[in-house]
């Protein structure tokens, strides 16, 4: 059953998001005039300003964003900080009237979560990717959730606590701009005892403010209802402009300002400004209320003045429901949120993994976890990178850190912090440690100080927060090592290097926070965003996530380009080509995709050329020699022979040689001539070329060269060396010049019958025989493969095998850059041969295959890990093997069914293999055939079918003539060559 309150809040959040976007775009939309962040000191305020600057394009431009530090860098209390805000506003405006002001009190040191001290808990991560794709922080959530509030108040000041996220529907706010209002939710009493609780009066005003009272006390005063819930103090308040004026009167003169805003008086927003607003409050009890600082005469005098100006006002209690109160108070709370608690907010889009490249159960925010590292249960990575060979223990928090080849113990926080002087401090402490106390990993620090004979503190405040424990380092890895050394020292481990720690310059959690470089923190966050995006690509490649599913980007950053260069340098062939392809898809950059195909071609060529050598023993042995070869039809496994698929998976193909019009249509003739030159003559192409120097013959790779095939043949066969030599000397040794005639007769272009590759095979065979070079079938196939790579055609190896020798061939290769082809001549029962001769029919479509970028599309779908393509390519190989099995046992019907299945798989590999005409041809003879498949890549050329028993070629020819009349569509004169 759906969680109704959660769904309600989800809808409320979407409404707030819409209002947030309206505040960005609509000039007259109600928005905050000021958003003011309070900070503990100027360093923290500077960090806030830099974070605001980082977000300026996502913030309402008509709202003024301000960060105000505590006076003179001394803690003046949340009440003093509120007065500082009023002082600033009055310096900017003549009056508070008609102003809508949002104040977020965020000036704490975040002692309980030191990893957030430097930039403040306000900018700590929230496990949520915003609808605009940005990783969220508390500040971002505040801005979104509070974007609907200005329309609910005419004027006034809303104050929030910077470590509490409130999720509620702002439409429930009913405030009449009188006095003050406190926003409250119902929370269990066990939560309420650790916070403030309001006791509601009969008239809807707050009767009493109870700060951190025990459960017994809360029950005794009637603050707990029958469901064991209380009205919790969320830290969210609304002050009217009149009340703002009254508070400002406390600091109207310099003397008054000095009396109320200082480190000694240290007024509290919640203890000093709210208490007088409660109905049951008395001045006598007000004097006793626990202060934010210490009791002193100055505080007593200040409270008397506060009572005088605020007592006339009352505070309305605004109970909102449903609502959520999320406190980011301690590291343990955050770890609990990231390891299960976050599931409660999944309807809001919250997740354990946000903007991270992480596989598995580890929680992460803007982080990378190498799949070759090991990590224990219950860990949380925050703006961190865990490299391969790292071992992370159980229940760890890694924050702003990079770990390589290190072992991190269980139950620790490891936090990296760059200092303004360029050094690094890596702080390590226990998940359960409270820096306000005097323990580290459960060990008493006074005892540790005495044992080590060093001074850990420079003052009397003996707490973990102030202890000088953390060694400075020149880089992050040295900082990690120093932190791990400290862990060993505290835990009395034998591997600890105490002297190294003693001699190092050390900082405390406090001093490290004060010396932090906010620019470096922001830059690290950006860096991790960049690296996450790149690591996601490599993981997508490894886990076969389709490239098309990745988020599009416009360009690569400098960091990403550096990452890519390093990654490419150490990548193997498969990852290298896919990195370029995936980037081409992600960036929509054709150059990257072309680089992918260039790598495929280059790798294939390099692997092939290594085995080539110049043959100095070749001699012309006859004046004239002719080779004629048949064509082929592919029955199973087509595309599995194509690089890079065959290089990574091996290939399996079943094909058979055919005669067309009773002939072997591929012909190559070599003829000796007296002149020391080489002549190429291609009758069907109508081109003629003569060469008396060697350099033009060695120039290959131009796809528009009309003699690319002939040149590649001479290079592959070793007749012409790849470099150097003189053509005259070579031909004199051979015994003369020669003419190479090549021709494919009566075969339409784009037939799908393998003509170009079979012509290559005919050229190689003719050259070998003309020059007296001994060769085997395997030699022939290998040299044709080399030829194809020299020409950079990118095609597979099945065509040349199909036509080079007669009969049915089962052809396979194992994975590897250099493909070694194994050919098995399949023997069929005589009855099966006869049946195939009768039932096999070749049909011409009358159209040439369309000039599509076919090979690129098919290879791109494979390289890009498109699921349909990967599945079909694997199935296609299996189908070829099953076809062989059925034919060897004479089952032509079983073979026909597999041919039909293959046709469906072929369309998954390339949807362009079929078209309206092809489907119409197959449809017109549907009841006459048991199996169908296009020849070659399809899209035109020839089709092949297996007829039903009793159906003749003449029957098919008649049907096609009836449907297509005088077109070129018809049955071809074809004979299988056994």
Residues 599-637: pLDDT tens digits? 998 898 888 777 788 999 999 999 999 999 999 999 999
Handedness of CA 255, 260, 261, 266 (dihedral sign): positive
813 token code pair: 């290769």
Question: Distance between CA atoms of 118 and 815, rounded to whole angstroms?
Answer: 54
pLDDT tens track for 738-779: 999 999 999 988 899 999 999 999 999 999 999 999 999 989
- Domain 830-976 sits in CATH at 3.30.70.890
Question: Distance between CA atoms of 145 and 133, rounded to whole angstroms?
Answer: 17
User: Region 48-66: what's the mean pLDDT?
Assistant: 94
pLDDT tens track for 491-514: 999 889 999 999 999 999 999 998
What pLDDT score was predicted for residue 966? 85
Question: Distance between CA atoms of 116 and 114, rounded to whole angstroms?
Answer: 5
DSSP secondary structure letters along 353-379: EES-B--SS-EEES-EE-TTSEE-TT-
**Across 227-313, where does the E strand assignment appear?**
229-239
The yes-or-no verdict on residue 926 having pLDDT over 60 is: yes
Percent helix, strand and coil across the chain, each rounded to 5?
Answer: 40, 20, 35
What pLDDT score was predicted for residue 851? 47
Q: Report whether CATH 3.90.550 matches the domain 4-327.
A: yes
Q: Which of 975, 977, 978 is nearest to 661 (CA)?
A: 975
Handedness of CA 672, 675, 680, 686 (dihedral sign): negative
Which residue matches tokens 């004479």?
Answer: 890
Q: Work out the mean pLDDT of the chain and round it to a whole number.
A: 93
Question: Distance between CA atoms of 662 and 11, rounded to whole angstroms?
Answer: 75
The yes-or-no verdict on residue 790 having pLDDT over 90 is: no
Torsion of CA 502, 505, 511, 516, to 10 degrees: -140
DSSP secondary structure letters along 382-432: ES-EE-TT-EE-SS-EEES-EE-S-EEPTTEEEEEEEBTTS-EEEEEEETT
For residue 17, give every residue at least 6 positions away whose Cβ sits within 8 Å of its Cβ, in sequence order, or none: 131, 144
What pLDDT score was predicted for residue 301? 96
What pLDDT score was predicted for residue 629? 97
User: Region 933-950: what's the mean pLDDT?
Assistant: 93
End-to-end CA distance of the chain: 68
Question: Distance between CA atoms of 390 and 366, rounded to whole angstroms?
Answer: 18
Contact 148, 171 (CB under 8 A): yes
- Domain 624-825 sits in CATH at 3.30.230.10
Residue 5, phi then psi, degrees to nearest 5: -60, -40
* N residues, the chain: 978
The yes-or-no verdict on residue 1 having pLDDT over 70 is: no
What pLDDT score was predicted for residue 56? 92
Question: Distance between CA atoms of 279 and 206, rounded to whole angstroms?
Answer: 6
Domain ranges of the chain: 4-327, 351-521, 624-825, 830-976
The yes-or-no verdict on residue 344 having pLDDT over 90 is: no
CA 763 from centroid of its chain's CA atoms: 49
């Amino acid at each position: 059953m759906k969680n109704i309150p959660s769904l309600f809040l989800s809808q409320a959040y979407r409404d707030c998001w819409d209002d947030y976007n309206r505040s960005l775009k609509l000039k007259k939309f109600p928005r905050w005039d000021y958003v003011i962040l309070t900070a503990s000191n100027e360093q923290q305020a500077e960090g806030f300003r830099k974070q605001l600057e980082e977000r300026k394009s996502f913030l309402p431009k008509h709202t003024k964003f301000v960060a105000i530090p505590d006076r003179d860098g001394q803690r003046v209390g949340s009440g003093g900080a509120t007065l500082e805000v009023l002082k600033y506003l009055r310096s900017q405006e003549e009056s508070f009237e008609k102003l809508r002001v949002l104040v977020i009190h965020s000036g704490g040191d975040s002692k309980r979560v030191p990893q957030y001290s430097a930039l403040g808990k306000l900018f700590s991560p929230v496990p949520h990717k915003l609808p605009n794709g940005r990783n969220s922080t508390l500040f971002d959530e505040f801005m979104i959730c509070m974007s609907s509030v200005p329309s609910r108040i005419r004027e006034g000041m809303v104050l929030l606590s910077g470590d509490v996220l409130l999720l509620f529907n702002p439409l429930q706010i009913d405030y009449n701009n009188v006095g003050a209002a406190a926003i409250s939710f119902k929370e269990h009493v066990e939560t309420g005892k650790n916070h403030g609780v309001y006791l509601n009066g009969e008239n809807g005003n707050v009767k009493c403010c109870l700060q951190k009272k025990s459960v017994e006390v809360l029950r005794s005063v009637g603050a707990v209802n029958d469901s064991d819930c209380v009205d919790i103090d969320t830290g969210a308040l609304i002050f009217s402009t009149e009340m703002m004026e009254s508070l400002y009167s406390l600091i109207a003169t310099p003397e008054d300002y000095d009396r109320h805003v200082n480190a000694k008086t240290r007024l509290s927003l919640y203890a000093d400004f709210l208490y007088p607003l409660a109905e049951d409050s008395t001045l006598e009890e007000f004097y006793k209320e626990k202060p934010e600082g210490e009791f002193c005469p100055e505080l007593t005098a200040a409270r008397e003045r506060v009572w005088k100006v605020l007592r006339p006002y009352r505070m309305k209690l605004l109970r909102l429901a449903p609502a959520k109160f999320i406190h980011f108070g301690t590291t343990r709370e955050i770890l609990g949120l990231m390891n299960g608690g976050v599931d409660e907010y999944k309807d809001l889009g919250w997740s354990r993994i946000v903007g991270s490249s992480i596989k598995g159960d580890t929680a992460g925010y803007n982080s990378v976890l190498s799949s070759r590292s090991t990590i224990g249960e219950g860990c949380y990575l925050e703006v961190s990178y865990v490299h391969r060979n790292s071992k992370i223990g159980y229940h760890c928090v890694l924050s702003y850190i990079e770990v390589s080849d290190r072992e991190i113990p269980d139950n620790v926080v490891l936090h990296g912090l760059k200092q303004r002087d360029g050094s690094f401090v890596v702080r390590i402490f226990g998940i359960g440690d409270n820096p306000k106390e005097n323990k580290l990993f459960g060990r008493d620090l006074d005892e540790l100080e005495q044992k080590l004979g060093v001074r850990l503190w420079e003052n009397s405040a003996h707490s973990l927060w102030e202890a000088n424990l953390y060694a400075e380092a020149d880089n992050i890895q040295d900082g990690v090592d120093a932190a791990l050394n400290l862990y060993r020292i505290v835990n009395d481990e034998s591997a600890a290097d105490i002297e190294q720690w003693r001699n190092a310059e050390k900082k405390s959690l406090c001093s490290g926070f004060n010396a932090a470089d906010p620019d470096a923190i922001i830059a690290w966050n950006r860096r991790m965003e960049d690296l996450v995006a790149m690591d996601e690509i490599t993981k997508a490649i490894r886990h076969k996530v389709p490239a098309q599913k990745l988020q599009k980007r416009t360009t690569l950053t400098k960091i990403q380009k550096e990452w890519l260069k390093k990654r490419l340098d150490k990548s193997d062939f498969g990852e290298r080509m896919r990195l370029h392809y995936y980037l081409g898809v992600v960036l929509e950059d054709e150059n990257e995709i072309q680089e992918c195909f260039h790598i495929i071609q280059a790798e294939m060529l390099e692997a092939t050329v290594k085995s080539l050598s110049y043959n100095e023993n070749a001699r012309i042995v006859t004046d004239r020699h002719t080779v004629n070869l048949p064509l082929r039809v592919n029955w199973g496994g087509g595309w599995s022979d194509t690089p890079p698929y065959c290089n990574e998976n091996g290939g399996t193909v079943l094909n058979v040689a055919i005669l067309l019009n009773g002939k072997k249509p591929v012909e190559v003739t070599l003829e000796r001539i007296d002149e020391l030159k080489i002549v190429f003559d291609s009758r069907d192409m109508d081109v003629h070329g003569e060469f008396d120097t060697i350099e033009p013959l060695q120039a290959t790779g131009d796809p528009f060269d009309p003699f690319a095939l002939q040149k590649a043949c001479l290079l592959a066969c070793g007749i012409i060396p790849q470099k150097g030599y003189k053509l005259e000397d070579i031909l004199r040794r051979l015994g003369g010049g020669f003419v190479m005639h090549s021709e494919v007769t009566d075969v339409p272009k784009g037939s799908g019958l393998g003509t170009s590759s079979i012509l290559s095979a005919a050229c190689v065979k003719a050259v070998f025989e003309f020059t007296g070079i001994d060769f085997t079938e395997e030699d022939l196939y290998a040299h044709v493969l080399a030829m194809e790579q020299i020409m950079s055609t990118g095609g597979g190896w099945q065509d040349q095998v199909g036509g080079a020798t007669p009969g049915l061939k089962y052809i396979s290769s194992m994975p590897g850059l250099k493909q070694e082809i194994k050919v098995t001549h399949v023997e069929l029962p005589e009855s099966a041969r006869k049946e195939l001769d009768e039932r096999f029919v070749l049909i011409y479509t009358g159209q040439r295959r369309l000039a599509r970028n076919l090979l690129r599309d098919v290879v791109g779908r494979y390289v890009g890990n498109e699921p349909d393509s990967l599945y079909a390519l694997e199935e296609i190989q299996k189908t070829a093997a099953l076809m062989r099995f059925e034919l060897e046992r004479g089952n032509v019907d079983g073979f026909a069914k597999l041919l039909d299945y293959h046709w469906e798989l072929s369309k998954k590999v390339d949807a362009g293999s079929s078209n309206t005409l092809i489907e119409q041809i197959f449809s017109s003879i549907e009841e006459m055939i048991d199996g169908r498949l296009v020849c070659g890549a399809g899209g035109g050329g020839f089709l092949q079918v297996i007829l039903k028993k009793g159906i003749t070629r003449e029957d098919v020819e008649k049907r096609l003539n009836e449907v297509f009349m005088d077109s070129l569509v018809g049955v071809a004169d074809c004979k299988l060559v056994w």
